[in-house]
Chains A and B, each alone.
Chain A
Amino acid sequence: MSMLEIRGLNVNYGDFHAIQDVSMDVEANSVVSLIGANGAGKSTLINAICGVNKIRSGSVTFLGHDITKQKTSKIVSLGLTSSPEGSHCFEKMTIQDNLLQGAYLCRSGKERRKRLDEIYELFPVLKEKSKQLATYLSGGQRQMLAIGRAMMTQPKLLICDEISLGLAPVVIKDIYVQLEKVREKGITLVIVDQDVNRSLTNSDYTYVMLEGRIVMAGESKKMNIDEVNDAYFGINLEKKEA
């Protein structure tokens, strides 16, 4: 059984059918890419998995637990969380408080400190700015803070939405180096990135979304970038229809 199993998932925004019959598997200790053009439904899918968006039908199973209708807080306690699109840092809180909040479910202050030190080791820049408010961070630092905060929950599966959006190439490179370290800690990753090439080279498995559906899936190494690009933009489908 996979770590995360999604079967026949449907999500609506009112009448708009945003996620259509999506099924997906994430194996433990793998890195999975989820790609697709703007508006394909990636964020909607992630938020549905995390209990932020309501699911109309279908099921989500995480480590054998049915989490389809669970509250986000419960899902997080099972070891699944996300670093959401746009970071969603706690703007009026310090960097340190943002991170400590990640360990909210941990009852021991000592353990929270220990986790904090680990994150500071991974992202030294956050330690330098630990007393500053999150609102004064740069885009790359905000992304690191969101990832660090998510890691403070000690997830088994971490979903990173729009990991590179609006960031300079050097910063993106940095973040991928850090993600590799996250993976070495035994955390399974699902990554959403706009860049197809980067997604394929940095993952074990790739899912391509188009207009609310999964239109292509496969081992990243074996995928043909041109075919993926076609699926990404829906070119294949148009050809078939013509």
Chain B
Amino acid sequence: MLQYLVQGILLGGLYAIIGIGMSMVFGIMRLTNLAHGDLMILSAYLALTFCDLLGGNLLLATLFTIIAMVIIGFLIQAFLVNHVLSKGAEPALLVTFGISVFLANLLHNIFSADYQSLPNSLTNTQVISTDLVSISAIYLFSFVVAILMIVGLHFLMQRTNFGRSIRATSDDDMAAGLTGVNTKRAYVYAMMLSMAVTAVSGVLIGSTYTFNASMGSSYLIIAFGVVVIGGMGSLIGTLLGGIVLGVAQLLGSYFLGTGVQLLVAYLVLLVVLATRPNGLLARATRK
């Protein structure tokens, strides 16, 4: 039981990482990025490719992946999403759906449907291994990275001139313009930042699990669950949402068996939606 609880919490860290990029885009642009999962899988493939090119240096490959994803974020926002965002939420949603389908097919064509994994030395290492609990290094690492990213992003958004301008644009873009913000550019920066985070998520997911081109949608669902439970767009909520989902899944597996664990997690999602439709932390930390 303790083992399941600890693992659930750690898994929550990974789930939070899956959700952060999507949460940011939603929080800032009120846009549900349906391509979020595929962008994460794209990051994993990019890291795999860079890793091959760089002789197996995953850390350096991650750096290159972040750079590549930031550029992709720029292209997506400047040339696709910004053009339709002013026309309301639905056209932008459709654009992200288009990106999702395009990416899944592109990755399938380039990399085939074979399962891949990133060569991360943490994957099969245990940090603690007793009779009672064993903690795998990759989960612990992901949990720590999740917290660091969330704290870092929170600081960036709340305490810096840049973060404030992004919040202002999200709150009232006309008024933000009247304070000198180039609002279209602010959205581009926000998307680039979100893609940097997504790149890190992709690497961690690719290190923890095997992946193939068609798995984007399953990660989108997890991200969606995390973002909804945490309170759409709240960064701290993302961590909470991840942990709730992770613990629900692992306890579900403990009590009811591995077959239904994900079902239990989504049942919790439904219960949260029914009782707190704005998410657990919506009021307290919503930007």
Binding site for B on A (CB under 8 A): 50-52, 71-73, 76-77, 81-82, 84, 88-93, 97, 100-105, 107, 109, 112, 149-150, 152-153
CA A37 to CA B175, docked complex, whole Å? 24
- Neighbouring B residues of A90 by C-beta, 8 Å: 167-168, 171-172, 175-176
A-B interface pairs (CB < 8 A), number: 79
CB of B178 closer than 8 Å to a CB of A = yes
Known contacts: A73-B182, A88-B172, A104-B161. The answer to whether A93 contacts B167 by CB under 8 A is yes
Please tell me which one of the listed residues B164, B182, B183 contacts residue A101 in the complex, with CB atoms under 8 A apart. Answer: B164
Bound-state Cα–Cα, A92 to B286, Å? 8
Residue of A nearest to B185 (CB): A73
Q: How far is the CA of A52 from the CA of B173 in the complex (A)?
A: 10
In the complex, which residues of chain A have a beta carbon less than 8 angstroms from the beta carbon of B287? 92
For residue B179, CB closer than 8 A to chain A, the reply is yes
Task: Say yes or no for B181: interface residue by CB 8 A criterion.
Answer: yes
Chain A residues whose CB sits within 8 angstroms of the CB of B171 once the complex forms: 90-93
How far apart sit A88 and B179, CA to CA, in the bound complex (Å)?
12
Nearest A residue (CB) for B186? A73
Which of B164, B180, B181 is packed against the most chain A CB atoms within 10 Å?
B180
Instruction: Using CB atoms, name the residue of chain A closest to B175.
Output: A88
Query: Which among B161, B168, B172, B179 is the interface contact of A76 at CB below 8 angstroms?
Result: B179
Chain A residues near B277: list those with CB within 8 A: none
Cβ-neighbour of B174 out of A88, A91, A92, A150 (below 8 A): A88
Q: Determine if B91 is an interface residue (Cβ-Cβ < 8 Å).
A: no
Q: In the bound complex, what is the Cα–Cα distance between A81 and B286 (angstroms)?
A: 29
Instruction: Report yes or no: B177 in contact with A101, Cβ–Cβ below 8 A.
Output: no
Decide: A149 and B179 in contact? CB cutoff 8 A.
yes
With A73-B180, A73-B182 known to touch, is A104 a contact of B164 (CB < 8 Å)? Answer: yes
Closest to B162 in A: A104
* Chain A contacts for B167, CB-based, 8 A: 90, 92-93, 97
Complex Cα spacing A89 to B286, Å: 17
Report how far A90 CA is from B286 CA in the complex, Å. Answer: 13
CB distance from B87 to the nearest CB of A (A): 15
Q: How far is the CB of A110 from chain B (nearest CB, A)?
A: 12
Q: Which residues of B contact A102 (CB under 8 A)?
A: 179
Report yes or no: B179 in contact with A81, Cβ–Cβ below 8 A: yes
